[in-house]
Amino acid sequence: MQRSIWVFGLLAGAICALLEYLFFKSANASGNVMYIAKFVVLIIFIAFGLIYLRKIRGGTLSIARTLFSGIMIALVRALVMISAFTFFYYPNGDFYQEKLEISFEQAAVKINSDSEIKPADKQMIIEETQSQIAHQYTPTGYMLVTIGMSLVTGFIFSIFMAALISTNLMYNKT
């Protein structure tokens, strides 16, 4: 595999892991800002990685190579983020406990203020929602969410980049 894929994936992963670390250490950081920033970082590094790959391959990059490389950059980024999450999670997940409690409180407030939910069902929905939130703060849940988000984002943006910078080599005569 191209070294540039590893370099751009590792850089994107390191920056995204740093953004998450700062979010979890901060008392009043916005989760939405962190998620948008991680999304933008991934897009930037996929774009730079694909442009660099096209340059080192002599200005010609096939559509398939573009898709594969973009997805691989996103996957390497996800692996770095999962490694960082796992490092901070063990031995018992105390690093994430404060944000988990805040998420529980925000979910309970939102459910309690929803007038479309019957009062008798609110407690059951709160417990179910808290269970889903807690699962996202475990290594398995985090891994699934991160890999899924990275693959979807990498695939969609790679298609966009393939339309802009790739060459359909099927019709080129040598």
For 4-39, what is each residue's pLDDT tens digit?
A: 899 999 999 999 999 999 888 886 777 788 889 999
In this structure, are residues 42 and 154 in contact, taking their beta carbons and an 8 Å threshold? yes
User: Between the ranges 21-25, 156-160, 168-172, where is the mean pLDDT highest?
Assistant: 156-160
Query: pLDDT value at position 173?
Result: 59
What residues does each domain of the chain span? 3-92+139-171, 94-136
Cβ distance 85 to 139 under 8 Å?
A: yes
- Alpha-carbon span 148 to 168, nearest angstrom: 28
Please give the mean pLDDT across all residues of the chain.
88
Task: State both tokens at 104.
Answer: 């529980």
The answer on pLDDT for 92 being more than 60 is yes
Which pLDDT score, from 0 to 100, does residue 162 have?
85
Q: Is the pLDDT of residue 82 over 90?
A: yes
For residue 16, the model assigns a pLDDT of 95
